[in-house]
Amino acid sequence: VLMVYDASLGYDPDEWEECPVKEQFMVFSFFTRLLLSTAAVAFVVFFYRMIEVNNAKEKASKEK
């Protein structure tokens, strides 16, 4: 870690405390996150296509 001391800033680097490294764990593995992301995108695409199909059906029924 590179720290630059500048007296004009008014702090003393000797008083700094180093934070401990946080223990992190992954809730989902990479494959699970990839699968959930793909499912979310697929749902959005499906949802908007269904809206487009519904709008096209309504437009066709109004023209008749």
Query: What Cα–Cα distance (Å) separates residue 41 from each residue in 26, 31, 63?
Result: 22, 15, 33
From CA 56, how far away is CA 63, in angstroms rounded? 11
Q: What pLDDT sits at residue 27?
A: 82
3-state secondary structure of 37: helix
| Cα 35 versus chain centre, distance | 14
Q: What is the pLDDT of residues 3-55, one digit of tens each?
A: 666 667 776 667 777 777 888 777 889 999 999 999 999 999 999 999 999 99
What tokens does 2 get? 């590179």
pLDDT band at 59 (very low <50, low <70, confident <90, very high): very high
Residue 63 vs residue 13, higher pLDDT: 63
